[in-house]
Structure 1
Amino acid sequence: MTTVVFTHGTGVREPHLAALLAQVASGLAATGPGVRLTAYDWGGRHGARLAAGGASIPAAPGAGTGRNTGGPEDPDETEEWARLYEDPHAELAAASAGAGPRVTPPGAAFPEERPRALLRELAAHGEPRAGAIGPGLPEAAAGLTRSPLLGTAAQALDQEALAWVLARALAATVIASGLAADTPVQSGGDARDAAVAALAERLGAAPAGTGRGPLLRVAGKPLVRIGSRYALRRRRALTDAAHPAAGDILKYLARGEDMRRGLRDLVAALEPPVVLLGHSLGGIISLDTLISGPLPGVELLITVGSQGPFLYETGALPSLAHPDPLPGHVPPWLNLYDRRDLLGYAAEPLFPGRAHDIATDSRQPFPVAHSAYWTDPAVYRAIGERLP
């Protein structure tokens, strides 16, 4: 009788492991009748834990003091900036939504003509005082001149308010571009605010003005309900929820020998033939264990939604460095990944002739796709066809 050793992924603990194992057993029963399924519960014994009860988690800004200890900036303003980094024109859109119908008399200038001219000038000559927020200001200003929101926002706001809204939109655009490009250094809040003040002045605001609060707040309908402020206040709860998954990966890469030894000991007690079936980090553990030394009786390795190939290519797989080949004692390798699973990687291009890839499609978005393999009949058909 073939024994399939199922090695679970990150963050899985009882009672969830039992439910997952029952699902896998049900799927295998249809394509591999007579197969014996057993679980390697490395998470229960070797998984990551907050050994000191979370002593490393800092308190949220202002916790226990009734004030924001992170600085003079209003925490609501921090949240609004987070929203602007996601959508630099969100404030312009909020202003435009409040614009009513307006008729421009014959011969009079349209409200957006002056701000558009100032933006063109800014695009042509830049603003040295705003250099701290990063490069790309001329491009951001040129793009803003073409925004359809400029006209309606100019109708809704006076010159002073519009100048500050446009300045914040420009600053948010530049900073967001830096974030997207993984720029290693970003400006602090003081440097950002100084740049916004300089830009607002160039766009028609009074010199040394303080600006008006972002419309995202004064509109009375906050557009940000969950973000950095929520995360700070809930940091302990979020860490408690996330640390098994993230911690498992970090612990394995730093001290994974105990996990590999546990799998070797389990396999040694089983009658062959044995198949190693690993999901996510479980696939890495299975692959690494096989590479590090022969496992008599193991005739097939199956990895599902696993990052093993990616770790190998990036030089992070503990047992094998690219471009070294798989050792000859590693058995045939079936690797399944869902095309929509951002944590599933291809092995065949890296190990031609040694690994065989099958791409599946659960029709679920990520991250659901990473856990949807075990309800996908195509996964069990692929496994069943190759079981010894």
Structure 2
Amino acid sequence: MTTVVFIHGTGVREPHLTTLLSQVASGLATTAPGARLVAYDWGGTYGATLAADGASIPAAPGAGTGRSTGGPEDGDETEGWARLYQDPTAELATASAGAGPRVTPPGAAFPDERPRALLRRLAAEGEPAAGALGPGLSEAAAGLARSPLLGGAAEALDQETLSWVLARSLAAALVAEGIAGDRPVQCGGDARDAAVTVLAERLGAPPAGTGRGPLLRMAGRPLVRLGSRYAVRRRRALTDAAHPAAGDILKYLARGEDTRQGLRELVATAEPPVVLLGHSLGGIIALDTLISGPLPEVELLMTVGSQGPFLYETGALPSLAHPDPLPGHVPPWVNVYDRRDLLGYAAGPLFPGRAHDVATDSRQPFPVAHSAYWSDPAVYRALGERLP
């Protein structure tokens, strides 16, 4: 009787492991009814834990100081800026949506004529006004001068408020461009605010010292508006929820020998022939263990949605560095990845003739695709066809 040793992925703990095993057993029964399924519960023994009960997690900003840690509505503008970095015209859009019908008398200037002219002048003069915000001010100002939102915003807001809204839009556009371009250094809030003040004065606001123009309430999805503040305030709870998955990876890569030794000991007690079936980090553990020394009982390795090939190519796989080949004692290797799973990688191009890739398509978006393998008949067919 073939023994299939299932090696789970990151963050899996009981009771979820039992549920997962039930799903895998059901799938195996359709293509390999004679196989015996055994679980390697490495997470429960060697997985990551917060050994000091989360002592490394900082308190939220303002905790114990009496200072506000809320959003723009109660004094902290950080969340408003997070919304602007996502959509630099969010304030303009909100103001424009609130503009009512307005008739401009014959011969009178339209409300948006002056701000558009000031933006065009700023675009022509170039970069110095942006300072620490980074390059791109000319392009951002020229684009804002053409914005269809400017007309409605100019009708709804007074000139001073509009100047601050435009200045923040420009600043947010430059910061967002830096985020998208992975700029290695971003400015702090003080430098950003100083640049906004300069830009606002260039766009018609009174000299510094008369106010900064508070952020307008911006329409947006609740979770987007709450994102940064919510995460900071609930950092402990979020860390408790996330650390098993992230911590498992980091701990394995730093101190994985105990996990590999545990798998060797389990294989030694299993009835041969043995198949190692590893999902995600479980596939890395299985591959690493086989590379680091012969396990004659194991006749097939099957990795599913695994990052082993990626770690090998980047030099992060503990047991083997690119371009060294797989040792001869590694058994046949079947590597399954879903084309939509961003955590599944191909092994065949890196190990030609030694690793056989099976590409599947669960028709699920990521990250659901990363856990949908175990309801995909193609995965069990690939295993059943090759089972020793």
The bucket for the TM-score relative to the shorter chain is over 0.9
Distance 1:236 1:108 in 2: 58
The Cα shift of 1:74 comes to: 6.4
Give me the whole-angstrom Cα distance separating, in 2, the residues matched to 1:215 and 1:75: 12
Identity of aligned residues (%): 83
The SS at the match of 1:294 is: coil
* Aligned counterpart, 1:110: 110
Displacement of 1:261: 0.7
Q: Is the 8 A contact 2:299 2:331 kept in 1?
A: yes
Could you say which residue in structure 1 is the equivalent of 2:262? 262
Letter in 2 for 1:12: V
Answering whether residue 111 of structure 2 is matched by residue 132 of structure 1, we say no
Residue of structure 1 equivalent to 2:213: 212
- Asked if 1 retains the 8 angstrom alpha-carbon contact of 2:348 and 2:354, the reply is yes
After superposition, the C-alpha distances for 1:87-134 in whole angstroms (9 at most, x for unaligned) are 111111111110112223333332222212221222222242421111
Instruction: Look up the SS of the partner of 1:5 in the other structure.
Output: strand
Q: Provide the C-alpha distance between the structure 2 equivalents of 1:223 and 1:270, rounded to a whole number of angstroms.
A: 49
Aligned to 1:85: 85
Aligned-partner Cα distance in 2 for 1:166–1:98: 16
In structure 1, C-alpha distance between the alignment counterparts of 2:221 and 2:367, rounded to whole Å: 30
Residue in structure 2 matched with residue 2 of structure 1 by the alignment: 2
Q: Deviations over 1:70-101 (max 9, x none)?
A: 9xx96631111111111111111111110112
> Taking structure 2 as the reference length, what is the TM-score of the superposition?
0.95
Deviates more, 1:183-192 or 1:123-132: 123-132
**CA separation of 1:223 and 1:120: change in aligned 2, threshold 3 A:** farther
| Secondary structure at the counterpart of residue 6 of structure 1 | strand
The residue identity in structure 1 corresponding to 2:42 is: W
DSSP-derived class of the 1:104 partner? coil
1:282-361 matched pairs, under 5 angstroms: 282-361=282-361
Q: Secondary structure at the match of 2:357?
A: strand
**Cα pair distance change 1:299/1:221, threshold 3 Å:** closer
Aligned residue type for 1:212: G
Q: CA deviation at 1:249?
A: 0.5
Contiguous gaps of at least 5 residues in structure 2: none
Rounded Cα–Cα distance in structure 1 between residues aligned with 2:99 and 2:194: 29
Q: Is the 8 A contact 1:167 1:199 kept in 2?
A: yes
Give distance in 2, aligned partners of 1:220 and 1:309. Answer: 40
> In structure 1, the residue corresponding to 2:18 is in which secondary structure?
helix
Instruction: Give the TM-score of the pair, scaled to structure 1.
Output: 0.95
SS for the counterpart of 2:77 is helix
CA distance in 2, matches of 1:164, 1:222: 24
Deviations 1:15-62 (CA, angstroms, capped at 9, x unpaired)? 110110010000111011111110110000000000011111111112
1:152-163 alignment to 2 at 5 Å?
152-163=152-163
Alpha-carbon distance in 2 for matches of 1:135, 1:94: 27
Q: Distance in 2 between matches of 1:254 and 1:68?
A: 39
The letter for the 1-side match of 2:300 is: L
Q: Partner amino acid for 1:215?
A: L
How far 1:146 moved relative to its partner?
A: 2.6
Mapped partners of 1:359, 1:203: distance in 2: 56
The answer to whether the Cα contact below 8 Å between 1:119 and 1:144 also exists between their aligned partners in 2 is: yes
**Residues of 1 paired with 2:75 and 2:336: CA distance?**
45
In the alignment, residue 216 of structure 1 is paired with which amino acid? R
Cα distance in 2 between the residues matched to 1:122 and 1:263: 65
Task: Say which SS state the counterpart of residue 348 (structure 1) adopts.
Answer: coil
Offset of residue 68 of structure 1? 4.3
| Alignment check: 8 A CA contact 1:132 1:187 kept | yes
Contact 2:338 2:362 in 1 (8 A): yes
CA RMSD for the aligned pairs? 2.1
Q: Which amino acid aligns with 1:94?
A: T
**Could you tell me how far apart the structure 2 residues matched to 1:140 and 1:207 are?**
23
Residue 220 of structure 1 and its aligned partner are, at CA, apart by: 12
What code does the residue aligned with 2:319 have?
S
Q: CA deviation at 1:147?
A: 2.1
Change (3 A) 1:282 1:150: same
- Are 1:216 and 1:223, in contact at CA under 8 Å, matched by a contact in 2? no
Mean Cα deviation higher: 359-368 or 1-10:
359-368
Letter paired with 2:23: Q
Aligned match of 2:365: 365
Counterpart of 2:213 in structure 1: which amino acid? R
The match for 2:240 is 240
1:7/1:276 contact within 8 Å kept: yes
Q: Which residue identity lines up with residue 162 of structure 1 in the other structure? A: L
Distance (whole Å) between structure 1 residues aligned to residue 309 and residue 18 of structure 2? 28
Matched residue, 2:174: 174
Give 1:256 deviation, angstroms.
0.5
